[in-house]
């Protein structure tokens, strides 16, 4: 599966209907973004069970602002509608492969418990 262009119109639906979504926030003028693109495309080919999305920060400024994207490229991983990873910078292929492997191994029940505790703590 190739990458999916994410927009404000399909973003929520994509995240809600898929348990594991990787998102590359990028722009056409960004050199590191262009260098990272083939690495990201190859990872998408190597992991056809996952959804790989791309957000053009120029065309989708609202999405970039909603996720407080300050530097591009930024890679984000959302599992079960929870952001489990977000970091700026282009990754080399082995680091991206390792990151995907780690994200696959996350205990999402534990992550949800931690998020719930944090939300309760900030509400108090």
User: Among all residues, which ones are annotated catalytic?
Assistant: 30, 33
Three-class HEC string of the chain: CCCEECCCCCHHHHHHHCCEEEEEEECCCCHHHHHHHHHHHHHHHHCCCCEEEEEECCCCHHHHHHCCCCCCCEEEEEECCEEEEEEECCCCHHHHHHHHHHHHCCCHHHHHHHHHHHHHHHHC
């Amino acid at each position: 599966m190739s990458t999916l262009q994410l927009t404000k119109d399909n973003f929520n639906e994509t995240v809600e209907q898929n348990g594991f979504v990787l998102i590359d926030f990028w722009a056409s003028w960004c050199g590191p973004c262009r260098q990272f693109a083939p690495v990201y495309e190859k990872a998408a080919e190597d992991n056809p069970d996952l959804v790989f999305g791309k957000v053009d920060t120029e065309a989708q400024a609202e999405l970039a602002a909603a996720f407080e994207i300050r530097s591009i490229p930024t890679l984000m991983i959302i599992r079960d509608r929870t952001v489990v990873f977000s970091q700026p910078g282009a990754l080399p292929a082995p680091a991206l492969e390792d990151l995907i492997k780690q994200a696959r191994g996350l205990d999402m029940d534990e992550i949800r418990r931690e998020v719930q505790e944090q939300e309760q703590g900030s509400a108090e």
